[in-house]
Structure 1
Amino acid sequence: MNNNIPVPTATGSEKTASDEAGSAAFQHDVVRNLVCRQGRYPDIATAQDWYMALAWTVRDRMLARWTASVQNYALHHVKVACYFSAEFLIGPQLGCNLISLDLESEAREAMRAFGQDLDRLLEIEEEPGLGNGGLGRLAACYLDSLATVEIPAIGYGIRYEFGIFDQDIVDGWQVERTDKWLKMGTPWEICRPDISFYVCFGGATQMLTDEQGKLRVRWTPARQVKGVAYDMPVQGYRVNTCNLLRLWKSEAVESFDFEDFNAGDYYQAVEEKVVSETLSKVLYPNDEPDSGKRLRLAQQYFFVSCSLQDMLRLMDASHLPVERFADRFAAQLNDTHPSIAVAELMRLLIDERLLSWEEAWSITQRTFAYTNHTLLPEALETWSLPLMQSMLPRLLEIIYEINSRFLDEVRRTFPGDEARVARMSFIDEYGDKKVRMAHLAITGSHHVNGVAALHSELLRETVLHDFADMYPERFLNVTNGVTPRRFMMLSNPGLARLLDATIGAEWRSDLMRLNALAAHAEDAAFQEAWRAIRRDSKAALAARIYKTVGINIPPDMLFDVQVKRIHEYKRQHLNALHIISLYSRLRRNPSLDIAPRCFIFGGKAAPGYQMAKLIIRLISGIAEVVNNDPVIENRIKVIFYPDFNVKNGHYIYPAADLSEQISTAGKEASGTGNMKFMMNGALTIGTLDGANVEIREQAGADNFFLFGMTAQQVEGLKHQGYRPAQYVESSEDLRDALDQIAQGCFSRGDKEMFRGLLDNLLYSDPFFVLADFADYAACQERVNQAWRDEKRWTRMSVMNTAQSGMFSSDRAIQEYCEHIWQTSAVKIDPVEF
């Protein structure tokens, strides 16, 4: 019997009988999960019920691949890449998993059969807010790529019950709301109560001699916390590899004290449970108060200790000796947050596995590698000695010993240079003594990488210069990348279909194939199709803007977008000053020839960062004035899009015409939003900072709007003695913009509201906003002229997408595998489900 006889469908397309059987099985599984896991039947099921049932059905197929992957890894003792990160902004999962499993059309048809709309169900999904910004988004991209290029991998982090805050804008100010991403439960995680470890805090240590006469240390902690594993499967794109994100939830060792309860003290009886579970309660508290600093350090130690204990458990399960630990695992420290792992692995190997110091140090250095994400010295984490002593006494002893041996090596390498010794020491002796965590990470790692070519160069020349002198072979660059699955295929399906039709679908697995688009950049028919897709994306974003903030945006305006964490070095206030200047010029001359433009901002300010919050208030104030001025009408609009996250990014990246990447040169490590915009055809206006340098090289200078001082010029001006006022004196437009702010034009007449911001700019301007203003404004005029030429702008847009292939996270991960981890791809056989 032929099971592949074409069967007509309702739309007239042809489908094989085996396809029909697969579709029927999928629908059956959805109903089964609706009934057996949700406790609902179709007639009473809500949209949330259908979403959960569909997600369970997809997860079942992922878990079949995950078990096959794990079995294969264990059988062949493969080397596993372990990505240690305090943040994973993984975004909504259902859409990406459907794409990776090639189940999107099947799911859409199944949901239609049940009277449900797949797009509506995708909107229901809560986004796990397990990160603050780019660091967490990068980690999520890397997990996606690790699975897609078939590298055995585990991501390790924290299961924050409450993620990064949800942001509202109330009366122009940022207001933080609790991110309850788990309020409806999540279908993607699996609780593993059998995989749990104890983590120690406080107490004291004592020296003792073991049975072999060797000196050992016993740590008697003041308290312990239990970490319980929660797993999320990470599916590779159109492969059978399914890897793992393992997040740790803190629990009390004893959650209820019956002795206290029987004595009548109920609150004391549950206190230990409350205190212990605080560790994974919330993402990154405000770390200004001592209590915040204690919690943040505790979180970091908690998750790396659980993760390293888990890796040792896997070694034991494989019956491999601990001496082969570095052969089985490569552990990447994503910034300084997990750097305490260097000391913790030493503790585990020396105190618990009874290895010698030399054996343990060799294993530790061969296991770890460290990614640096900042050029800001203040962003390199330090912890006060009293805090470390009170919380992690045994770890501090180990850090002292590593430092002592390391400084002996420094003195041998650079004899007589005690100033260098002081700079390189793990202990900052100036003022309040602190432990420099970046120094620990560098010394305990076999490789240290920056995340863009310029960033890596500046690291070697500035903040890590001494270490690069001593260990030049350890330093290298791996430019960041982002996943095209989420940020092109899922976010921009219209563009994905056009690319398939024009250059074939192979680009989905090899983004360098986008180069073939360059041959079509001048083609009139292709340009029109390109513009049509962009209009649709802009109309979709305009509709969301209207629904969210009540402002109507004509989609034919130039969408000028700056969405990222709000920070002075990212210079959202430079953008704001230009908008004020442009608005003033239009007020003076309503017939001024400018392209209609909508300025779109988005991003969150850290709750304790008052200057960043003031920048948000300024942007909101400008929007209030500009959007309600009848003289301006639809010439310019200003939008602050609240609660920028991965989910909102799905709409913003495809709709942007101009990507604002205007940080002070030498301050941004790389950026990843710049890459997402480029992939989707946005043009960049930017400084030579971070990955902008490589984006400009790839796109071509003619397809990039460059302005501003270089990093070298910034340093030169700083050493000359920067005087911000001279730039105000020489620019009438800048002077007028600052005067309007001072006069309360954007604060409803309150002349004091922005006093702190103005004083910062006029008397300090640490990020050279005023120095770059004139060149930025001139560059924006070049943008205005280019936008007027539709064919030229379209060609530039196409060329940006065509040359974005190197910014795939697949390429970045392959570089990590080849140059740092020494890991290889492992093919997983097809799985029957």
Structure 2
Amino acid sequence: MSTAQSTKLLSPNREHTRTGMSKEALKQAYIDNLFYIQGRFREVATSHDLYMAAAYTVRDRLLARWVKSAQAFKVNRARTVCYLSAEFLLGPHLANNLVNLGITKISQESAAELELDFAMILEEEEEPGLGNGGLGRLAACFMDSLATQCIPAIGYGIRYEFGIFDQTIENGWQVERSDTWLRNGNPWEIPRPKICFPIGFGGYTEQYRHADGSLRHRWLPSLEINGVAYDTPILGYGVGNVNLLRLWKAEAPQSFDFQAFNVGDYYGAVHAKIEAETISKVLYPNDEPEVGKELRLKQQFFFVSCSLQDMIRLHLNTVGSLDTFANKFVAQLNDTHPALAVAELMRLFIDEHGMAWEQAWTITRNTFCYTNHTLLPEALETWSVALFERLLPRHLEIIYLINQDFLNQVREKFPDDETRVIRMSLIAEGEQRRVRMANLAVVGSQAVNGVAALHSELVKTTLFNDFYDLWPEKFHNVTNGVSPRRFMVVSNPRLADLISHTCGHNDWIRDLSLLRHLEHHADDVELQQRWREVKIAAKQDFANWLQQQTGVVLDPQAMFDVQAKRLHEYKRQHLNILHIIRLYQRIQQNPNQEIVSRAFIFGGKAAPGYYLAKLIIKLINAVAEVVNHDPLVNGRIRVAFMPDFNVKNGQRLYPAADLSEQISLAGKEASGTGNMKFSLNGALTIGTLDGANVEIREEVGAENFFLFGMTAAEVTAKQREGYRPWELYHADPELKADIDLINSGHFSRGDMVLFRPLTDHLINHDPFMVLADYRAYLECQAQVSTAWSDAANWDRMSILNVARMGKFSSDRAIVEYAKNIWNVPPVTVER
């Protein structure tokens, strides 16, 4: 075979059926994949077979681009972003990849010609539940935008066998079911059994004399497992670039002990396999018991060690000397879960590769950047020194050394200020000494950023104020964003088509700032009418789905008032419930009064061990049971809890919302991204000046945002002066009546005890000041009702909201990271 022929075979024509983009190529590839991969012919294929064939057909086209991207990055020795995250809440892949390939329409036509139900195939896909909420969803948006902006990147995480639990509602209570997302296979991933790294735990350390005469340390673990790579290609929109998501699965070095089996020890024969695989078994095990804490620490070390060993392998294979490691890679720590990477990279450099401490520390600090996602003290991870010493003895030694050098630096800058030294130490002293992971992340990184302007300011002035005094140049803000592909084009195609028609192009999908063009048409009566029709259609779709799931019937003409996010007291779902109860009581007192029809829709999961959050879910469903069946209410208000809120179900909900509830206590929400998704789909926001709400209000205009509640400064002042919620309870007759109605058993079939833990907590403690903001919230909701009554003006406000949301694209966020923090230039790969 000639060289020319060989090259032709390695680089097939784009219209070749294997990776061609024509309708005929797609149809032939689909039939081939159904036959050769699934082993089915059309007449006997199940719905899952049909989906798998579609997924493999699309994946083939991703892989062709992936290989070209990998070659381009290697040739260019491209500086690469490594995004380390314990969560990647990806959502379904198929529809998103069709959009990014630009073949959604042609795929629909191909399916129709093959007499396939395109919508059914999309619906068949199982969502990978590899995240809990905003943190994981943000990581997934960033992976999409990294590829779209042509930034070479690898996402590193854990391939959890069981992701975030599936939520069902039984008798009003949340019930957790295992998320068996892998039970039917995952067509998007490629196992890489040869990319495998040893991970140790326990044991002890010892000093020894190296051949060069230097004194070194080595760690002799008592347990060793393997981390095996599973790769998923992540395609950018409208580009040839495909980045890599590499997730690690834990495996035993020897999965079956034949000797133990031969002597009848059947459990012992597989014990090592069971113990090893537990590490990547489930997302966020309950860490209330000590064994849960141990497993979470093992998970965090497991994935950062695998990732760093992989980065070192790649560097040695492509660049060479580790002296230039920080020039090749920049690693972003997505919250504190991967903070152990600081100590592990030091261990690998010093113990495994013989690097001097000073050089290793310089490279390490120049490699890492840290994103803080929370101001809540309980969410800033700390680990007991005793647990650390038992599981990771060498890393504890390294952290002590880092801390010693760091505290000397603090004392030099701030002499005679031992109180500051104690606050900044990587080790919290006390009855139980603890390792502060956030402090480790700050000390071991070249840059620290918050995720909204307000949050980043609070990071500097409160959370890490001491560190800001020491290193002001280290602190940045990068306001979060969301992917317009996933959360507009895929989830709301009617709106996306209307926007493209109105703007005369679809360039806004890649540059969301171009939505500003809609402003010129906000007063167009015809656009307002079409805008409303699109919204009503989305509401009808959601109402149909919800009725199938729950039996609750919603009127698409009513205002859809939505609060969908993780259940937590600081997010204040119970403030929303108190408003519903107030409306209910007003109807009881005057059944003939005019009231705006509303459907109150809640969604979100409570952590399995978080009793008060689960009790709030029960209260929502209990109120729904009473309100929805009360003849006096007569459907004017309806309450629904949508089960199992996740990316897939969120894509049904965001287009349907008229009002977005973003009502957390000011100063508690780092950013929020649900607020952005709702606004991008035309919902108006009722909210506090918290997180990214501040910037959303600035962008869309104060007149298009329903603002209420205390500011972060006012919250701090009220806490300082002494907050007394019981005084508010007794001073406001309506507030008292609402809480008393809950306590009366009206919503719990006469049980006057059921909701007492929640109401007593509000009256006596109220840590998130629900009662303080209650009256302002009711007054703001009255303004919402007045605005809703003017349909044309509401539509105008909705259009302006979408038009002015361009800032909140994850593409913009990634450009800011790449330019201001990472210093990573784009590398464009031909399509």
TM band (smaller chain): over 0.9
Residues 1:227 and 2:227 aligned together: yes
Which amino acid is 2:160 matched to? Y
Residues 1:88 and 2:88 aligned together: yes
1:758-773 paired onto structure 2 within 5 Å: 758-773=759-774
Match of 2:375, SS state, is coil
2:407 paired residue number: 407
**1:253 and 1:411 mapped to 2: Cα distance?**
46
1:806 paired residue number: 807
Q: CA deviation at 1:597?
A: 0.3
1:790 paired residue number: 791
1:7 paired residue number: none
2:289 paired residue number: 289
Residues 1:77 and 2:50 aligned together: no
**2:787 and 2:21 mapped to 1: Cα distance?**
54
Contact 2:86/2:338 (8 A) holds in 1: yes
Match of 2:501, SS state, is helix
1:608-619 paired onto structure 2 within 5 Å: 608-619=609-620
2:746 paired residue number: 745
Q: CA deviation at 1:21?
A: 8.9
CA deviation profile, 1:309-356 (whole Å, cap 9, x unmatched)? 000110111142111110000100000000000000000000011000
**2:286 and 2:593 mapped to 1: Cα distance?**
46
**1:595 and 1:580 mapped to 2: Cα distance?**
15
Give unpaired runs (5+ residues) of structure 1.
1-15
Q: CA deviation at 1:113?
A: 2.1
**2:817 and 2:408 mapped to 1: Cα distance?**
31
1:534 paired residue number: 535
1:245 paired residue number: 245
Contact 2:21/2:103 (8 A) holds in 1: no
Q: CA deviation at 1:582?
A: 0.8
CA deviation profile, 1:476-526 (whole Å, cap 9, x unmatched)? 100000000000000110111111111121111100000111111111011
2:315 paired residue number: 315
* 1:21–1:748 CA distance, 2 compared to 1 (3 A): closer
CA deviation profile, 1:30-58 (whole Å, cap 9, x unmatched)? 11111111011122111211110011010
**1:416 and 1:241 mapped to 2: Cα distance?**
54
Q: CA deviation at 1:22?
A: 2.1
2:356 paired residue number: 356
Q: TM-score, normalised by structure 1?
A: 0.97
1:306 paired residue number: 306
Q: CA deviation at 1:17?
A: 14
Q: CA deviation at 1:20?
A: 11
1:95-106 paired onto structure 2 within 5 Å: 95-106=95-106
CA deviation profile, 1:79-135 (whole Å, cap 9, x unmatched)? 000100000000000000001001112221222222211111100000000001100
**1:308 and 1:42 mapped to 2: Cα distance?**
45
CA deviation profile, 1:373-415 (whole Å, cap 9, x unmatched)? 0011121000000100000001111000000000000000000
Q: CA deviation at 1:263?
A: 2.2
2:500 paired residue number: 500
**2:588 and 2:147 mapped to 1: Cα distance?**
54
**1:262 and 1:99 mapped to 2: Cα distance?**
55
CA deviation profile, 1:160-191 (whole Å, cap 9, x unmatched)? 00000000000000000000001111110000
**1:317 and 1:286 mapped to 2: Cα distance?**
40
1:121 paired residue number: 121
2:11 paired residue number: none
**2:248 and 2:109 mapped to 1: Cα distance?**
37
1:700-719 paired onto structure 2 within 5 Å: 700-719=701-720
Q: What's the C-alpha RMSD, in Å, of the aligned pairs?
A: 1.3
**2:470 and 2:454 mapped to 1: Cα distance?**
20
1:385-784 paired onto structure 2 within 5 Å: 385-503=385-503, 504-784=505-785
**1:739 and 1:636 mapped to 2: Cα distance?**
21
Which segment is superposed worse, 101-110 or 264-273?
A: 101-110
Match of 1:34, SS state, is helix
Which amino acid is 2:256 matched to? F
Q: CA deviation at 1:260?
A: 1.6
Match of 1:370, SS state, is strand
Contact 2:128/2:181 (8 A) holds in 1: yes
Match of 1:247, SS state, is strand
Q: CA deviation at 1:634?
A: 1.6
**2:515 and 2:683 mapped to 1: Cα distance?**
15
Match of 2:42, SS state, is coil
Which amino acid is 1:344 matched to? E
Which segment is superposed worse, 17-26 or 364-373?
A: 17-26
CA deviation profile, 1:135-170 (whole Å, cap 9, x unmatched)? 000000000000001110000000000000000000
Q: CA deviation at 1:259?
A: 2.4
**2:671 and 2:243 mapped to 1: Cα distance?**
27
CA deviation profile, 1:436-490 (whole Å, cap 9, x unmatched)? 0000000000000000000000111111111111110000100000000000000
2:5 paired residue number: none
* 1:201–1:732 CA distance, 2 compared to 1 (3 A): same
How many pairs are equivalent?
A: 815
CA deviation profile, 1:551-606 (whole Å, cap 9, x unmatched)? 11110000000000000000000000111011000111112222100000000000
CA deviation profile, 1:788-828 (whole Å, cap 9, x unmatched)? 00111111101110000000000000000001110011111
Which amino acid is 1:355 matched to? M
Which amino acid is 1:544 matched to? W
**1:339 and 1:518 mapped to 2: Cα distance?**
44
Contact 2:16/2:25 (8 A) holds in 1: no
Match of 1:282, SS state, is coil
**1:531 and 1:94 mapped to 2: Cα distance?**
29
Match of 2:44, SS state, is coil
**1:523 and 1:73 mapped to 2: Cα distance?**
48
**2:760 and 2:392 mapped to 1: Cα distance?**
42
**1:368 and 1:22 mapped to 2: Cα distance?**
44
CA deviation profile, 1:214-264 (whole Å, cap 9, x unmatched)? 111011100101000000000000100011100000000111112222222
Identity %: 58
Which segment is superposed worse, 445-454 or 629-638?
A: 629-638
2:8 paired residue number: none
**1:205 and 1:21 mapped to 2: Cα distance?**
57
Match of 2:339, SS state, is coil
1:815 paired residue number: 816
Residues 1:135 and 2:146 aligned together: no
Which amino acid is 2:683 matched to? A
1:12 paired residue number: none
1:368 paired residue number: 368
Match of 1:193, SS state, is strand
Which amino acid is 2:812 matched to? R
Which amino acid is 2:472 matched to? P
**2:36 and 2:548 mapped to 1: Cα distance?**
37
Contact 2:77/2:319 (8 A) holds in 1: no
**1:47 and 1:665 mapped to 2: Cα distance?**
47
Contact 2:516/2:803 (8 A) holds in 1: yes
**2:745 and 2:139 mapped to 1: Cα distance?**
42
Contact 2:20/2:26 (8 A) holds in 1: no
**1:217 and 1:262 mapped to 2: Cα distance?**
39
1:19-168 paired onto structure 2 within 5 Å: 22-168=22-168
**1:89 and 1:283 mapped to 2: Cα distance?**
11
* 1:319–1:818 CA distance, 2 compared to 1 (3 A): closer
Match of 1:462, SS state, is helix
